[in-house]
A and B are shown apart, each in its own frame.
Chain A
Amino acid sequence: MAIDSDLELMLRVSRGDADSFGVLLNRYRGPLLNYFVRMVRDPALAEDLAQEAFLRVYQARERYQPEARFTTWLYRIATNLALNAIRDRRSEPVVLETALQTGNEFVSPLDRAADGRPTAEERLADSDRQRLIRQAIEALPEKQRAAVILHKYQEVDYRQIASILKISESAVKSLLFRAYESLRARLEPLLEGGLV
């Protein structure tokens, strides 16, 4: 059975096909949730935002114009939601640390060494590295952060990013270059093999 394209599915949704919306939901809830987690960090808020993004897609189904890719439209909605949430929560304290750094799974440190999985020390060093990377990305200005996350982690093409952020393609290249230069400076200890 052929896999329906996002565009076909969205056109069916716009004609009132709820099952097609379910397929899109199933296809993109994971990537979208991870996008929001990287953008706002708090998993509970990320899930709320991901649900809100899908709801907005559904609510706007009749106005959907198949001019751009579905993912461009989806990530534009998501990026607007994420940037608004970041502005709302700018003064809020940090909610989540360990769950994101180490994953949700809990295994006793004593269990690890025996079965070849990372020891407690290894996990600690690993979480230190991940924390540094996360902090470096979070320190970027909002648009640079969104561009880096879309480009690096969501594998969105820079032309699509231009459409999502409503800037020119050359501006996206420049935005990403500045972001990577900042990241290079902030992550120098990791690049030189420190904090292994």
Chain B
Amino acid sequence: MKNRCLEREQIFELAQGMAGEREAASRMAHLENCAECRKVFAGYQRLDDVLSEWNPQVEPSPWFDARVRAAAASGRAARGASAFFGPALHRWLAVPVLASLLVVVGTVVLRHRSRVNVPSAPVAAAAHVAVPPAPAGSQPPAAPQTGAQEVNMYQNLSVLEDYDMLAGFDVISELPKGSGKVAD
């Protein structure tokens, strides 16, 4: 009667030379009589052969030793500039650099736009129209309503497209956020 088949892990250990001397001898004896286990054993050997094909031979650079010796002599880290300014640092620097870039670009664009949108004389005059005083005895309208009316009055004027400029006017600045079509 044939012995019970070996566990795959036992065959693996045998194939990799990780089994103890006695275990290896008894497992080899089993393999001689068990085609099934021999097949598994051969499979691991084949896998080993396939893995051997991955052979990325990389030679150290000519300055390898010199860099290690220099770093050892100075007591600093050996990793060169490429490592120091490597990906980890890039990742941490990316956020502040991008944020600064956005601020600069945003400032330039806004300045450019405000220069282009300098209002003509009539428009500027219209922009300075004062809010009519409320009739005596009547309740003064709430500031947001006044602001909304002002927006309705001026919504066809191109100057109103420049929210940043309009934000300087008291009436408009009192507008609650989200009311009126001021910002583009």
Partner-B contacts on A (CB < 8 A):
18, 21-22, 25-26, 29-30, 33-34, 37-38, 43-52, 54-55, 58-59, 88-89, 91-92, 100-101, 103-104, 126, 129-130, 133-134, 137, 148, 151-153, 158, 173-174, 176-177, 180-181, 183-184, 187, 190-191
- B58 close to A33 (CB less than 8 A): yes
- With A37-B58, A48-B82, A51-B79 given, name 10 new contacts (CB 8 A): A29-B65, A34-B57, A48-B83, A48-B86, A91-B91, A104-B58, A148-B51, A177-B13, A187-B51, A191-B50
Give the residue of B44, B50, B55, B77 whose beta carbon is less than 8 angstroms from that of A190.
Answer: B50
Partner-A contacts on B (CB < 8 A):
8-9, 12-13, 16, 18, 43-44, 46-48, 50-61, 64-65, 67-69, 71-72, 75, 77-80, 82-83, 86-88, 91
| Minimum CB–CB distance for A9 against chain B, Å | 15
Most chain-A CB neighbours within 10 Å: which of B13, B60, B83?
B60
Between A and B, 25 residue pairs with Cβ closer than 8 Å are A22-B65, A25-B68, A29-B64, A33-B58, A45-B83, A51-B64, A51-B79, A52-B77, A52-B79, A54-B78, A55-B71, A58-B68, A101-B56, A126-B53, A133-B51, A134-B54, A153-B54, A158-B18, A176-B16, A177-B9, A177-B13, A180-B47, A184-B44, A184-B47, A191-B43
Interface of B is mostly: helix
Q: From A32, which residue of chain B is reached at the shortest CB distance?
A: B60
